[in-house]
Amino acid sequence: MNLRRTTHLILTALPRAIHRHGFGIQSPWAYELVRDVLFEPLPYYAYQEQRLTTPAQQQLFRIRNHYQHQPLVVIDRKGADAADCAEDAIRNATPDTILIIEHIHNENASLWEAIVNDPRTTVTFDMGRRGMAIFDKKRIKQNYLL
């Protein structure tokens, strides 16, 4: 591993470690979401039944389970395709819409930055490789780095 990559990992891992378990998050609903949904350490009831073996699959299942009655848009594409899908999703978003973007620090880094800065987006959760955006205008604009 080269020095640049090691330095990057250290500089991104330290700020994330503070908020990874909900510490430092003041909003009760965001704290509950981080602790009980995004980074729940205990196994869910359907991991084996649904054949969810990777932590990313399990996390997506927990998010879908938590937001059962709300529209969930998952964009796993990269580059221009992801940008087109995201723009359509944001344009048609309701306050209940949850948008999940994959690869936010690699191929979709500029897309994720645009979503974070978009005035229609109120709350975003940066989880490393995956990002989640919420469009509820009742919430204060906030970006959580987890």
Report how far residue 127's alpha carbon sits from residue 146's, in angstroms, rounded to the nearest whole number.
5
pTM to 2 decimals?
0.83
CB 131 within 8 A of CB 115: yes
Please report, to the nearest 10 degrees, the dihedral formed by the alpha carbons of residues 24, 63, 44, 40 taken in order: -10
- pLDDT at residue 57, rounded to an integer: 94
Reference 117, options 145, 81, 88, 141; nearest CA is: 141
Give the Å distances, CA to CA, from 105 to 44, 48, 66, 130, 142: 28, 30, 25, 8, 19
Up-side HSE of residue 44: CA atoms within 13 Å toward CB? Answer: 24
> pLDDT digit string (tens) for 90-142?
999 999 999 999 999 889 999 999 999 999 999 999 998 999 999 999 999 99
Cβ(82)–Cβ(93) under 8 Å?
no
Would you place residue 33 in the very low, low, confident or very high pLDDT band (cuts 50, 70, 90)?
A: very high
Between CA 143 and CA 133 the distance in angstroms is 9
Domain ranges of the chain: 3-145
pLDDT the model gives residue 15: 61
- The predicted pLDDT at position 103 comes to 93
Half-sphere exposure of residue 129: CA atoms within 13 angstroms, side-chain side: 8
The secondary structure of residue 104, as a DSSP letter, is: T
* 35-81 tens-digit pLDDT: 889 988 888 888 889 999 999 999 999 999 999 999 999 999 998 99
pLDDT of 23 reads 63
Q: In what order do the strands lie in the sheet with 142-145?
A: 72-75, 98-102, 130-134, 123-126, 142-145
pLDDT at 82 over 60: yes
Residue 72 has a CB neighbour count (10 Å cut-off) of 16
